[in-house]
Amino acid sequence: MEKIKVSNEDLRSVYNDIPEFYDRANAMISFFQDIKWRAELIEMVQFFYPDPKRILDVASGKGELSYVASRLLRSRIVMADYAENMLKASLVDGDKVLASFYNLPFRDNAFDAVVSSFALHAADDIGEVVREMTRVSKKVVGVIAMGKSDNWLLRNYVAFYLRFIQPYLAALVGAKPLDYKYIYYIYRKIPTNSQLKNIISKIFDLKVFKVKALGSVYIFVGVKKESEKERNKKEEKAV
């Protein structure tokens, strides 16, 4: 696969029009890299499915990823989240569904692509959620989430940052430090990046797996494997 980059024009378009109520705490903590990573994910999804008509944003929150996707694609975007208040505070207009990422209320292959940002790490069973996302996707699944480096030193550095520094950076922009301390506890329980890669590689054809920020964030894109029925149809046509 060729190296994929998000153009400066694409990023500028997103940055210039960020709503005033965008989550400033998360943006500051990542030094606005979260927006770049979301745009990078959408570009990668588009590489594997050039013209997606329907996209599902799983555990969408207020829709930061949906907002970026709406600026870069001409797709119908459906947001699904377990928190009603998050959906009510959405940054974008469109369809919104109250649902858990363990049980998405959609038929198989309902969407051309299924994406998620900064939510998968909260799952107790990441593999189960990825399988559910894959079920409702026609082809592509793309995710950004909090990761854990395989390097012991980097793991402990990030753990220190999440426990003692990040909450107080959030406080600088008016967020409550206690609201961010739970991220440290999630970090402790998530698998390492190599363990995660092994889990998801069994679910679909993993095309991209990148780590960012000392391994504390990963981006992956997978393509759904053909079913036996689909393979049989292709073989019949080839005969």
* Dihedral sign (CA 195, 35, 76, 59): positive
pLDDT of 1 higher than 80 = no
CA torsion 71-73-74-80 (nearest 10°) is: -80
User: Which pLDDT band, with edges at 50, 70 and 90, does 32 fall under?
Assistant: confident
pLDDT at 105: 98
pTM for this model (two decimals): 0.88
Query: Which of the pair, 6 or 197, is modelled with greater confidence?
Result: 197
For domain 8-156+190-238, give the fold. Answer: Rossmann fold (3.40.50)
- pLDDT tens digit string along 189-229? 999 999 999 999 999 999 999 999 999 999 999 999 987 56
